[in-house]
Amino acid sequence: MHQIYVDADACPVKDEIVRVAERHQIHVQLVSNSGMFGFHGHPLVTQTVVSDGADVADDWIAERIGPGDIVVTQDIPLADRCIKKDARVLRPNGKLLDKDSIGMTLATRDLMTDLRSSGEITGGPRAFSKQDRSNFLQTLETQVQAIKRA
């Protein structure tokens, strides 16, 4: 059975993921560097706390993800790794990343990193909105239904 993997430390849509998983009876792996409250004992949710360190949670997810699984992450390099394993990748704002879009997304990320480090850009991304949450729910539901049909 396919699973939903969540890069959970800063994920703003964990509750929404669990609601969709309950509706479709899909297992959820919440992976983080610190413990989380709210999902202990949930029959569809496994919480995995990995050791501190750069990319430890990403490595854990990338080692286990498989074709047809879904990953929810804001981390573009992790998204790229998962896409290469034929997983479906969603950002918390509902944007679907795939083989066609990941190259440009990686290039944009690298450009923005360079601009921030040179002081050209000092602000971060816009705040997470209700519309982002709604877009995410719609995209996740669509992806889960597509996996079930496949």
Instruction: Report if residue 111 sits inside a domain.
Output: no
Instruction: Report if residue 119 sits inside a domain.
Output: no
pLDDT tens sequence across 26-38? 999 999 998 777 7
Q: How confident is the model at residue 43 (pLDDT cuts 50, 70, 90)?
A: very high
**29 in Cβ contact with 4 (< 8 Å):** yes
Instruction: Report if residue 110 sits inside a domain.
Output: no
**62 in Cβ contact with 55 (< 8 Å):** no
Q: How confident is the model at residue 3 (pLDDT cuts 50, 70, 90)?
A: very high
pLDDT tens sequence across 97-144? 998 877 677 666 666 666 677 877 666 677 899 999 999 999 999 999
Angstrom distance (rounded) from CA 24 to CA 18:
10
Q: Which residues span the domain enclosing 77?
A: 3-98+130-149
Report the pLDDT value the prediction gives residue 101, as an integer from 0 to 100: 79
Angstrom distance (rounded) from CA 12 to CA 134:
12
Average of per-residue pLDDT across 11-23: 96
What is the side-by-side strand order in the sheet with 88-90? 45-49, 27-32, 3-7, 70-72, 88-90, 96-97
- The DSSP secondary-structure symbol of 29 reads E
Q: Residue 30, Cβ neighbours under 10 Å: how many? A: 25
Instruction: Report if residue 120 sits inside a domain.
Output: no
Q: How confident is the model at residue 10 (pLDDT cuts 50, 70, 90)?
A: confident
Instruction: Report if residue 121 sits inside a domain.
Output: no
Q: What is the pTM of this model?
A: 0.86
- The yes-or-no verdict on residue 55 having pLDDT over 80 is yes
Instruction: Report if residue 116 sits inside a domain.
Output: no
**Range from 17-26, 37-46, 105-114 that averages highest in pLDDT:** 17-26
CATH assignment at residue 59:
3.40.50
Instruction: Report if residue 10 sits inside a domain.
Output: yes
Closest CA to 68 of 129, 119, 143, 6: 143
Instruction: Report if residue 53 sits inside a domain.
Output: yes
Total tally of structural domains belonging to the chain: 1
From first CA to last CA, the distance across the chain in angstroms is 12
- The DSSP secondary-structure symbol of 30 reads E
- The yes-or-no verdict on residue 72 having pLDDT over 80 is yes
What percent of the chain has pLDDT above 70? 89
Report the pLDDT value the prediction gives residue 124, as an integer from 0 to 100: 67
